[in-house]
Chains A and B, each alone.
Chain A
Amino acid sequence: MTTVPADKNAALQPSGRLEGIGWLVNDSLTIAWRYLAAMLRLPESILFSAIQPMLLVLMFRYVFGGAIRGVHGSYVNYLMPGIFVQTVAFGAVISAVGVAEDIQKGIIERFRALPMARSAVLAGRTLSDLTRNACSIALMAGLGFAVGFRIETNVPAFLAGLGILLFFSWALSWGFSFIGLVVRNSETAQVATFPILLPFTFASSAFVPVQTMPGWLQAFAKYQPVSQVVNACRALMDGGPTSFHVLIALAWCFGLVAVLAPLAVRRYRRPA
């Protein structure tokens, strides 16, 4: 945003590729601001979306904490990375519902008639989801520390774990935005996403070791992205061999973004 013509009346005109990128950034930030500003206007929705992950921490810590065995060391430490990943996964439903609602209410129609960058609606959407996820993870980590969660490695490794987590959440936002674009109805988006989320979050290493599952399920549970991201976070936060898990998790995140983001943008650009 370095060049601003003196024309006071008309909208600015583009003149090159550099400005095109500048506008993509400008438009994406504006759209991200739109979602965050809307969220801030609904304090009760912030409250409830904050309560849910915090309750999850407490429930798993105190309800299942005593029953689930077969984990070496502290179950809280085992659990927290799992809850982090589960929270961002379920949080992605908001992306699907939000995008579908925008289509339903007709605001996408206005965006399409504006000279804005076409991929900015989704880029802004996923950016606002990233911000929201960062807040809820910070909240959960704080509560986790209060109920006994301890970093067994070091702070940089812990932060690297959170980084992978947010990268994964961003990849999911693209995928779930795509679902929202396809179903075009907020209620459908809500119900369409759960059959995807449940097997991925529960048939994973998020809450229990995969080794306790039957063999046919293990094959899926071991290699699917949620488990890989949980394993990487767990290695970075709770200790153990890290590089292999981290590489696999990053590969999943890059792969998912590389496939899902173009898919979603193409779907958005496709004239209805």
Chain B
Amino acid sequence: MPDPPAIEAHDLTKRFAKGNVLALDGLSFETPPGTVLGVLGPNGAGKTTAVRILCTVLVPDNGRAAILGLDVVRDAVAVRRVIGLAGQNAAVDENLSGRQNLQMVGRLSHMARGQAKKRAEELLEQFGLTNAASRSLKTYSGGMRRRLDLAAALVAQPPILFFDEPTTGLDPQTRRDMWTWTERLVAEGTTVLLTTQYLEEADRLADQVIVVDHGKVIAQGTPESLKADLGSTVLLVTLENSENAPRAAALLGPLGTRAPIVEDTLVEMSVENGPKAGSEALRVLDADGITVLGLVLREPSLDEVFLKLTGHRADSGPPAVATQASAESVGPRARSAR
């Protein structure tokens, strides 16, 4: 019999009586051990509900889910012994010190007293909290608190970790630290399920990504394959003035795989061979006397994958018109690349 998946969900549904919200609508996925699964989706997509069901905190209305083959409802106690939870919902006790918090989690994970103490010291050291260990959490900065939160999830060295939006609201430095720690854990064989609104985060950490919207998976694959589905390289040309834009688009059209999108002085298109198309574009426009201020070639981002799949951006609630949002997401980037 083959090993069970680290985390599996089959057709999970969950409706909240309050407001009659259908939070999960047939969510299914699987992830093998030792990998990072990125769960990508906007606020209210059902990411946190899914995590809460997988962590045995919430019971699904329908469907089933298992951790290392252990059913999250039937074998809930066994599941709790193999998981760690960190993120926006699982808090630490702010009236206790960092050390006390970690020792408490150790004792509640049924470690012997001495073992819980030792593990707390190890983690404090690992997360650079030794100096603040005996201070009340009330004096901790947001970043320190988040580090302690992560440490609390690691106390019992669980093989499966759930990080629910672990870097939301964090400063860039702490965010990068979190990424490094996550990568280290995965290198040691831990399976991580990470929910995020940040595409950059999923892109950097995840082996597999599922895109969730309205409580179901609307796309899945590696970050690369999802981006590849969009096609090819993105070519952005910035012109001196917008009057030339339609003519430039017409000239560049044959180079692209789809019709170019024009927005003010910006022409955006997908091309097969980036460098070749780039130099060709410059030649064609120059020959016609159109002044080019900037030219950018880049891989499509998960941002664009998300936009294409859902019709709205990851961090915006209501769906936006695709072309408008596209221009927003692309505009500043193109300018800064000049």
**Chain A residues within CB distance 8 Å of chain B:** 4, 8-14, 23, 26-27, 30-31, 33-34, 37-38, 41-42, 105-107, 109-116, 120, 271-272
Contact = CB atoms under 8 A, between A and B. Distances in A.
A113 B80 contact: yes
A32 B157 CA distance: 25
Contacts of A110: 85, 90-92, 105, 152
Q: Main SS of chain B's interface residues?
A: loop
A114 B91 contact: no
Given A10-B156, A33-B104, 18 more contacts: A10-B157, A11-B110, A11-B111, A14-B110, A26-B107, A30-B108, A37-B100, A106-B89, A107-B90, A107-B93, A109-B90, A110-B92, A110-B105, A113-B56, A114-B105, A115-B80, A115-B81, A271-B59
Contacts of A272: 57-58
Contact of A271 (B57, B81, B112, B157): B57
Contacts of A33: 104
A41 B110 contact: no
A12 B59 CA distance: 25
Interface core residue of A105, A107, A112, A115 (most chain B CB under 10 Å): A115
A98 to B, nearest CB: 10
B325 interface: no
A60 B297 CA distance: 82
B332 to A, nearest CB: 35
B94 interface: yes
A115 B109 contact: yes
The 10 tightest CB contacts between A and B, nearest first, are: A38-B95, A106-B91, A110-B90, A115-B80, A271-B59, A11-B109, A113-B55, A116-B108, A30-B107, A12-B110
A17 to B, nearest CB: 13
B112 A107 contact: no
Given A11-B111, A272-B57, A41 B97 contact: yes
Contacts of B111: 11-12
B273 to A, nearest CB: 50
B57 A112 contact: yes
B89 A26 contact: no
A178 B94 CA distance: 23
Interface string B154-179: 00110000000000000000000000
Interface of B: 52, 55-59, 77, 80-81, 83, 85, 89-97, 100, 104-105, 107-112, 115, 136, 152, 156-157
A181 to B, nearest CB: 15
A160 B217 CA distance: 64
Contacts of A115: 77, 80-81, 108-110
A114 B109 contact: yes
A26 B91 contact: no
Contacts of A31: 108
A31 B108 CA distance: 8
A105 B94 contact: yes
B108 A41 contact: no
A101 to B, nearest CB: 10
Contacts of A38: 93, 95-96
Interface core residue of A110, A115, A271 (most chain B CB under 10 Å): A110
B80 A107 contact: no
Nearest to A9: B157
Contacts of B77: 14, 115
Contacts of B80: 113-115
Nearest to B157: A9
B58 A271 contact: yes
Contact of A8 (B56, B91, B115, B136): B115
A27 B83 CA distance: 18
B8 to A, nearest CB: 18
Contacts of A4: 112
23 contacts: A10-B156, A11-B109, A11-B156, A12-B112, A30-B107, A30-B108, A34-B96, A38-B96, A41-B96, A105-B94, A107-B90, A110-B85, A110-B90, A110-B92, A110-B152, A111-B108, A112-B57, A113-B57, A113-B85, A115-B108, A115-B109, A115-B110, A272-B57
